[in-house]
Structure formats: structure tokens, C-alpha cells
Structure 1
Amino acid sequence: MSTLQQLLREIDAKQKRINKQRPLEQTKIKNLKDYFKVGLTYASNALEGSSLTEIETKVVLEDGIAVGGKSLKDHLDAIGHGRAFDWMWELAKGVAISEEDVKKMHVLCFQPSEGEQAGEYRHVNVVITGSQHNDRLPSHEEVPALMNAWAVGLPEKRKNRHPVQYAAQLHQEFIVIHPFADGNGRVARLLLNHALISQGYPPVIISPVFKHEYIQALEQSHTKPENFTAYIAEQALQAQRDYIRLLRIE
């Protein structure tokens, strides 16, 4: 049995324990949403260089208070990601995701800080710093057709793959296309979590402490996509463990 197959078996076993506790009370669902919103917003923005701590992110999102000594950009990024998380959470009441949903997610993340670029596919070719696979990135002229094909193909992939495999593949393929000039990582992690939450799995929050491992897994995915799938499966399993502890599930 491969490492990935073993991880998926463990995930399936834990998911059965989680599903036995459902349906949850509405108050508990709201509390979980608020908890994950702060955690994912903090972690996803920190992976991209934000200096806000998790507590500071909570203050910005829940209390609307500016944090002294922190940049306007960090504040706007937190507020924008919080809006995009709310949209993603509502969208996750169904499993489908469309190309327009992706564009709206990007708009919510980055307006007004990115102005007219928000929700628009890139008009320039890009280079990812530190990557050995920039030759694999499509030109900006190719992006619209690739994104259309990516979105059209999602239902078939969702039907034929384990939910965690599907979520990892969705994230990985989106990053390879790199459709936006900026913000691809944050949108990719929101899409990853839409795929998981919509099928009953706890959200995956990739800690900035493990940024190197995450970036390395993404880099390897250009030639060995199964490595990234295994990495996401490990993260999903840890998310389940945290969820079980959080809700004190026996």
C-alpha cells in the first residue's frame, strides 16, 4: 500500500467519526466558521508576507480595529481575505465551482487594494521567484482557454477522485495555470478549502511555519503531482485531528 493510500484510509476512518456528530447546532457552526475564518486568513496571508499575527488578524476582522505599526496593505489583505472566506463558505453549501466564482473570489480578496486588476486574468507573462519550472507557466494569451477548460473539467474530476485527491489536484492545476498577476496562492487555498468543506471535510490551514515544505511540494508537483497530493492529504489528516480535539469527539 502506498503512503497516499494509507493516508486516505486514515482520513476515511476519521471522517466517519466526524460525520457521526452531524448535524451540528447552528451556534456551533457559526463558532467554527469564525474560528476557521481567522485561522485561514492569518495563515494564508502570512504565507504571502503579511506581518499580522493571528490575534491581530482577529482584531481586524472581528473588531474592525487597526493595529498600530502595521501597514495598510496588511489590513486590506486581512479584510479582503475575510470577505472571500465568507463567500467561499456560502459557496461550499454546494459542490460546484465555476470560472465566474473564481473571479469573484479574487475580486473579494483584492478590491480595493488591487484596483482594476481584481478579478481579471493577467495580461502579462509571469515568473515565479525561486521556481525551476517557469518554462511550464502558460503565456497570458493562453490563460482564458486554460481556465475555461479547467473549470469545465472539475465535475468529472470530482466524481472520479477521493475528495482530498480532488482538492489537491484543483489547487495544483490552478497554480500551474497561474491565472492572475497576483494572489494566486490565496485563491488556490480558498479553492482547496471549498472542495473540502463542500464535501464535509474540515478546512486545511497551512501554517506559515511550514511554508518551505508547502512551496517545495508545489514545486515538485510540476513533475510529480502525487507528491503534492500526499502533502495535502497529510494536512487534511492533521486538520481532522484538530477538528476532533476542538469538538471533543470521542
Structure 2
Amino acid sequence: MNIYEKVDYYHKAINEVRPFEGHMLTQLKDYYRIGLTWSSNAIEGNTLTISETKMVLEDGLTVGGHPLRDLYEAVGHGEAYDFMFTLIGKRSITVQDIKAMHRLFYKSIDEGNAGTWRKVNVVVSGSGYAFPVPQEIEKQMRKLEKWVQDKRNNFHPVTFAALLHLKFVTIHPFIDGNGRTGRLIMNLALIQDGFQLAIIPPVLRAEYFDTIRQYQNKGNPAPFYDFIAERVYETQKEIMRLLHIPFTGRP
């Protein structure tokens, strides 16, 4: 089986025990709120451990020995994650949704730029890609919104989510926080279609950025598609373990 066949196989197995409701749904949402917040922030250099992230998000505690920004990033990402789940009931992802998500994540870090397109050119370390100039961002983001609306059903849901991420980070519309926002909207697309989250552990940071660069510099999205499919597959296996879903006939 290829990775997409494995993903579809486990997707079907998980669907047989759906819907997740009540206390179970809350538990799963809270479980991944910590994991996704920690991993997504850690990829960008946040120094909080997963245990410290849990303390900040669940207990409202501050953690000594870390930059204040690291705490703001954890709280902000947690709020953006909660907002993401309010959008499950639809299959659209709008410019307004994306701005709202970034605003929640970034407001305590830089209120003036939270949820606002960047006004300057950017150069991303490690990437030779020439990102759009500020004057092009609104047009590019509206084009992305229309692509979501018109082309979503043309792709496997995991491939669509991965390509949405690639398109978004290649526009790079915000002054900062594009990676985290991109991972949130990718995961929003996944959960809207009933799939599990793609959580990228910091140990795979180099592979993650390399596959993005292959799209930006060589026009090849396939390595990123496979990379994200593997991450969804790992979450599916974890969900099945946590919910005691038998791995009968596992691929």
C-alpha cells in the first residue's frame, strides 16, 4: 500500500466509531491543542517544552526562564486553535478566517500587525524564493480563497490540505507567523473533511522546510504531499491506539 491507501484505510476504520461526542471529543481536542501548539511553535524556535506548554494552556501558569514572547506564542496559538474548531461545520476557508486566525495568534506579540497583510518585502532565511510584493498580497489571497472554493473537490483531502499550506506560505502574507498560520489552515482543511491533524514534530523540521523549498524553487509539490500524508497517518495510528480501535488487517 502507498501512504494514501494507508491513510484512507485508517480513515475508514476511525469513521466506524464516529461521531466523537461529549467528553471524548473534548478530551481529544484538548490533547491535540497542546501537541499541535507545542510542535508548531517549536519548529519556529519557541523554547517551551511540551510540559511547559501544557502548564501555560491548561493551568494558566507562567513559566520562568523563557522569553515572554514564547509564552505569548503558546497562548495565542491555543486561541487560534480553538477558533479553528469553530470552522469545522463548513468547507470554505476565507480570507477573513485566515486573518482572524492570525490575529488571535499574533495580537499579544505585535497588535499593530496582527491579522494585517505585511507592508514590506520579506526574505526568508534558507529560501531563495522571491515572495510577492506587498501590493500583490490582497490579490493573491483572494485568488487563494477562490481556489479553495472552486478546486477543493479536485484533490484527495490530504493532498488538498498540503497544497493549501504550500500556496499560503509561498504568498507569505503576514510579517511573521506565516508558518504557524499555514499549519493551522492546513489542519482546518483536514478536520473539515473528517481527517486527523497533521502534527509535524520538531525533529522533522529540516525535512519539512526542505519539502517546502522543493515546491517553491522547483515547482515540485509531491515530496510535501507525501510528508504531510505521513504525518496524518501517524496521528491516525495514535487515535486508534487511544480509542482502542483494533488494527485488524492493518496495512
User: Could you tell me how far apart the structure 1 residues matched to 2:67 and 2:133 are?
Assistant: 33
Whether 2:122 is the aligned partner of 1:126: answer: yes
One-letter amino acid of the structure 2 residue matched with residue 221 of structure 1: Y
User: Could you tell me how far apart the structure 2 residues matched to 1:164 and 1:18 are?
Assistant: 16
Q: Cα offset for 1:210? A: 0.8
User: Could you tell me how far apart the structure 2 residues matched to 1:92 and 1:230 are?
Assistant: 24
Matches within 5 A, 1:35-46: 35-46=31-42
Q: Deviations over 1:76-100 (max 9, x none)?
A: 1100000000000111232211100
2:249 corresponds in structure 1 to none
Q: Cα offset for 1:238? A: 1.4
Question: Which of residues 157, 161, 171 is equivalent to 1:177?
Answer: 171
- TM-score under structure 1 length normalisation: 0.95
Q: Classify the secondary structure of the residue corresponding to 1:11.
A: helix
Whether 2:197 is the aligned partner of 1:197: answer: no
Q: Cα offset for 1:244? A: 1.1
Q: Cα offset for 1:141? A: 1.0
Q: Classify the secondary structure of the residue corresponding to 1:221.
A: helix
Q: Classify the secondary structure of the residue corresponding to 2:31.
A: helix
Larger mean CA deviation between 85-94 and 188-197 belongs to 85-94
User: Could you tell me how far apart the structure 1 residues matched to 2:14 and 2:50 are?
Assistant: 26
Whether 2:22 is the aligned partner of 1:7: answer: no
1:216 corresponds in structure 2 to 210
Q: Cα offset for 1:20? A: 0.1
Whether 2:155 is the aligned partner of 1:157: answer: no
Question: Which of residues 75, 78, 81 is equivalent to 2:74?
Answer: 78
Q: Cα offset for 1:177? A: 0.5
Query: Can you give the 5+ residue segments of structure 2 that lack an aligned partner in the other structure?
Result: 247-251
Q: Deviations over 1:133-190 (max 9, x none)?
A: 2x3x111111110001101110222111110010001000001100001000000000
1:97 corresponds in structure 2 to 93
One-letter amino acid of the structure 2 residue matched with residue 106 of structure 1: H
- TM-score under structure 2 length normalisation: 0.95
Runs of 4 or more, structure 1, over 2 Å off, are: none
User: Could you tell me how far apart the structure 1 residues matched to 2:128 and 2:112 are?
Assistant: 30
User: Could you tell me how far apart the structure 2 residues matched to 1:132 and 1:178 are?
Assistant: 14
Q: Cα offset for 1:233? A: 1.1
Tell me the matched-pair count: 244
Whether 2:242 is the aligned partner of 1:246: answer: yes
Question: Which of residues 77, 94, 109 is equivalent to 2:105?
Answer: 109
- RMSD of equivalent CA atoms: 1.1
